[in-house]
Chain A
Amino acid sequence: MPEVPLLKLENIGKEYFGNRVLADVSFSLNRGEILGLVGENGAGKSTLMNILFGMPVISGTGGYEGNIVLDGEVIRFGSPFDALAAGIGMVHQEFSLIPGFSAAENILLNREELNKSLLETVFSERLNTLDRPGMRARAARAIKTLGVDIGVDTIAAEMPVGYKQFIEIAREIDRTRTRVLVLDEPTAVLTETEARILLDALRKLADGGIAIIFISHRLQEIKSLCDRILVLRDGNVIRDSDARSASIRDIAAWMVGRNVEEDRPVRAGTISDEVALSVRDLWVDMPGETVRNAAFDVHKGEIFGIGGLAGQGKLGIPNGIMGLYPAGGTVSLFGREVELNKPRKALDRGMAFVSEDRRGVGLLLGERIDWNITFTGMQVQNRFLKGLPLLGNLVRLRDDDAIAAESEQYIKSLEIRCTGPAQRAVELSGGNQQKVCLAKAFSMRPELLLICEPTRGIDVGAKELVLNTLRRYNEEYGTTILITSSELEELRSVCDRVAIVGEGKIAGILPAISPAERFGLLMMGDVEDEGAQKEAVTGNA
């Protein structure tokens, strides 16, 4: 008997402000089937799920192309609540549990069992009291479906992380109508045992007839759990394959894809043997980007890339070195140790930093461009100041002329499109804001430049310009540069060596010209063997 697929996506496409992020994505999902969805950051996974879930961000940016067919009917959700009502449940990466509530209360949040009362006929159902025994029973049933043993009265705040994940899933299961369940990286926070229990539970659910879309970067899990695998890259479906027949190596290669060695420009800079930056046993407590134990060396004059999937800790490394988040371990610059946790110390030692959080950390949005560019130079190096004529050099004021002159120079050389140094940073486009951040760092005349996500959120033309600027700066001044980026291709095109970070550790360091699939495997959690790693850390390959 030919089965009508439960969920069918037909030629889904999506553009954000003229920027295509999804093109012609089609797949179908049967009852009881588990589909593994894999792809790099920015491959379009989350956009696809946002479309499926009717997130307001989609309709707010012009909707999407193509059709979603659920049970033979074309649907178009206006809000996530419509999706829930239609039976599509989603478990997000971040926990959405009320910390002080018990497991039962969280599972039945806003779907509580109520006792009837007279008040409801006059006012609202919300004046009915909760039927606690009923709620407990229902919650216990949902938890039992998962095959785990969690007390329904356990308070969420006191649960281990793994429990929280199960409670989230139980909440979706409790919706009687849930037919499709989407899980976004559910095992990221779990221990191995917990992950195994979760996978078993998912299998059980699927056997009960629920279709599951499972998003994960742990290819092992995908392979052992899923029936089918869908690989997305740059918004396109690269492969829709049977999970059993594909090898992990294949999947990694499909994900990372491209080979760009050909158009790699010849490096003019020279890399000396001298170690500029040496990092050992580094841990950084940066929310969402925890670094657990990182070690690597960067040579003088080198452009060193740090890559890896989001949330693995790559951003924590530069932020920790600069002292912006609580950190420990040893970081030395040219052999002398740098004091951590104090941005001033790092700046004093001639490091400059371009933050990934441009609007939050990188810029004074409400202030003038020239203030932005010269601020750090003024505070750290006492430049752009002039003594007050009357009081000699006791009171030193801002030298607005010097500030403007310095800024003019960078506005010209970096081609910042603005009305002049007095324009406020908030009025610039993303690319130009990024250039202001670069100018701020360049203006420090640093020995070591740490740059996070240099091309995030800027258009293609500006991307090229920013990368070229970095390369040129490295060549002209011999500045050592550490670039952190989620775009592996970008790192491979501009860097000499690239380190891949996984789960807060350096998974491996490879020369940029290594084949793409080796990077892909590292990203998927395949740590290089010990010997190779030692070798890679010191860069004596």
Chain B
Amino acid sequence: MLKKFIATAGWPRVIIGLFLLALFVTAPFVGVRISTSLSDTLVRFGMNGVMVLAMIPMVQAGCGLNFGLPLGVIAGLLGATMSIEFGVRGALGFATAIGLSIPIAAILGYGYGQLLNRVKGDEMMIATYVGFSSVAFMCMAWLLLPYKNPTMVWGYQGTGLRTTISVDNYWSHILSDFLSFKIGTFYFPTGMFLFFAAMCFLIWLFMKTKTGTAMTAVGSNPEFARAGGVNVDRMRVISVVLSTIFGAIGILVYEQSFGFIQLYMGPFYMALPTVAAILLGGASVNRATIFNVVVGTFLFQGILTMTPSVINSVLKTDMSEVIRIIVSNGMILYALTRKAQVKR
């Protein structure tokens, strides 16, 4: 029974799950409040959930893990900065940001998808570097684009965007605070969770359509899909476009909760933790479900919130960064080496 559970869940998940459990159990003994940490975990879960969700279409279509997530993030950042530039505030502002970033993400995703179709088999490495170079390219763009809004532009120069832009007067916590409630120190961002649930539902719905079914088949066996009359390349492009769009929406959700837009090298290492989270949830390089996303994000963000507080109180040193690096990259390594054994 136990063996079977471990076999289906996989060793890494069991170990990390137990580790997280141990953290929660020890927390009260070392003076860390469970309610705050749980609430922190949930907030971070909501912040990152949509971005992790963005992995699903590409993984399902066999394009591998979306190391090119920064591209979607860039689209989101463009949408966010433009909505602020136009001075739209509140819910409408957030909607504007989403509305503006979706077409940008679609265009970027389309080009990115076309590129990935020409480099089949090497997608992940190329995606990583496409992501990196587009971030660096945007660094130049942030400096040069003609933004004028003084909340965003460097005060003394009048041009070039700041590294971090506060969204306080625009749409900070616009989702999080919707219907949110507080019990003591426990804060629950209801709106953000509703939004995440809605996004999950959209993905679920899409995966049930004819196109979604075809996409799953492409990821599972492209030859089968081709023999079944599916245009494999088109499916892959659609998946990349979807992933990019969800990446853009994901970063907007993240920003409204975080309260700041991080530009320049901000999106640089966005992809790795996101990829690690979905793998932690039990996804493989070519199969991922919404369940994987929920479990993975919770475990990953749980560890991220709990280790600094608990481990620090126990060991009196901050090891959270090191643990994050080891866990996230170890997870990706595990997935990469496991896939090779099955497929080749």
Q: Which residues of A does B touch, CB under 8 Å?
A: 322, 324, 343-344, 347-348, 353, 355, 357, 360-367, 371, 375-376, 378-380, 382, 385, 388, 395-398
20 contacts between A and B (CB under 8 A): A343-B226, A343-B227, A343-B228, A347-B228, A347-B229, A360-B221, A362-B224, A367-B217, A367-B220, A371-B213, A375-B228, A376-B229, A378-B210, A379-B214, A379-B229, A379-B230, A380-B229, A382-B210, A397-B209, A398-B209
Q: How far is the CB of B70 from chain A (nearest CB, A)?
A: 30
Q: How far is the CB of B124 from chain A (nearest CB, A)?
A: 20
Q: Decide if the interface of chain A is mainly helix, strand, loop or mixed.
A: mixed
Question: Whole-angstrom distance between the alpha carbons of A87 and B259 in the complex?
Answer: 76
Q: How far is the CB of A74 from chain B (nearest CB, A)?
A: 38
Question: Whole-angstrom distance between the alpha carbons of A49 and B214 in the complex?
Answer: 44
Task: Select from chain B the residue with minimum beta-carbon distance to A375.
Answer: B228
Interface flags for B182-216 (1: CB within 8 Å of A; 0: not) read 00000000000000000000000100111001101
Is the Cβ of B220 less than 8 Å from the Cβ of A353? no
Q: Which residues of B does A touch, CB under 8 Å?
A: 205, 208-210, 213-214, 216-217, 220-221, 223-224, 226-231, 287
Which of these, B213, B223, B226, B227, contacts A398 with CB under 8 Å? B213
Q: How far is the CB of A105 from chain B (nearest CB, A)?
A: 27
Which of these, A361, A397, A398, contacts B224 with CB under 8 Å? A361
- Knowing A347-B229, A376-B228, A398-B210, the reply to whether A367 touches B216 (Cβ < 8 A) is yes
Q: How far is the CB of A357 from chain B (nearest CB, A)?
A: 8
Q: How far is the CB of B33 from chain A (nearest CB, A)?
A: 43
Which of these, A348, A363, A376, A395, contacts B205 with CB under 8 Å? A395
Q: How far is the CB of B28 from chain A (nearest CB, A)?
A: 44
**Which residues of chain A come closer than 8 Å to B226, judged between CB atoms?**
324, 343
* In the complex, the 6 A-B pairs of residues with the closest C-beta atoms, listed nearest first: A344-B229, A376-B228, A347-B229, A361-B223, A397-B208, A380-B229
Is the Cβ of A395 less than 8 Å from the Cβ of B209? yes
Question: Whole-angstrom distance between the alpha carbons of A233 and B209 in the complex?
Answer: 52
Is the Cβ of A344 less than 8 Å from the Cβ of B231? yes
Q: How far is the CB of A366 from chain B (nearest CB, A)?
A: 5
A-B residue pair count with CB separations less than 8 angstroms: 71
**Which residues of chain B come closer than 8 Å to A380, judged between CB atoms?**
228-229
Is the Cβ of B205 less than 8 Å from the Cβ of A397? yes
Task: Select from chain B the residue with minimum beta-carbon distance to A395.
Answer: B209
Which of these, B210, B223, B228, B287, contacts A366 with CB under 8 Å? B287
Q: How far is the CB of B224 from chain A (nearest CB, A)?
A: 5
Q: Which of B205, B209, B221, B231 has the most CB of A within 10 A?
A: B221
Question: Whole-angstrom distance between the alpha carbons of A133 and B159 in the complex?
Answer: 69
Which of these, B205, B208, B209, B224, contacts A364 with CB under 8 Å? B224
Task: Select from chain B the residue with minimum beta-carbon distance to A398.
Answer: B208
Q: Which of B210, B216, B217, B228 has the most CB of A within 10 A?
A: B228
Question: Whole-angstrom distance between the alpha carbons of A272 and B220 in the complex?
Answer: 41
Q: How far is the CB of B215 from chain A (nearest CB, A)?
A: 11
Task: Select from chain A the residue with minimum beta-carbon distance to B230.
Answer: A379
Task: Select from chain A the residue with minimum beta-carbon distance to B231.
Answer: A344
Task: Select from chain B the residue with minimum beta-carbon distance to A362.
Answer: B224
**Which residues of chain B come closer than 8 Å to A397, judged between CB atoms?**
205, 208-209
Which of these, A322, A347, A375, contacts B217 with CB under 8 Å? A375
Question: Whole-angstrom distance between the alpha carbons of A366 and B218 in the complex?
Answer: 12
Question: Whole-angstrom distance between the alpha carbons of A291 and B210 in the complex?
Answer: 35
**Which residues of chain A come closer than 8 Å to B217, judged between CB atoms?**
364, 367, 371, 375
**Which residues of chain B come closer than 8 Å to A365, judged between CB atoms?**
220-221
Task: Select from chain A the residue with minimum beta-carbon distance to B214.
Answer: A379
Is the Cβ of B216 less than 8 Å from the Cβ of A353? no
Question: Whole-angstrom distance between the alpha carbons of A396 and B230 in the complex?
Answer: 17
Task: Select from chain B the residue with minimum beta-carbon distance to A372.
Answer: B224
Known: A344-B230, A375-B228, A397-B208. 18 other contacts (CB 8 A): A324-B226, A361-B221, A361-B224, A363-B221, A364-B220, A364-B224, A366-B220, A367-B216, A367-B220, A376-B227, A378-B213, A379-B213, A379-B214, A379-B229, A380-B228, A385-B210, A395-B209, A397-B205
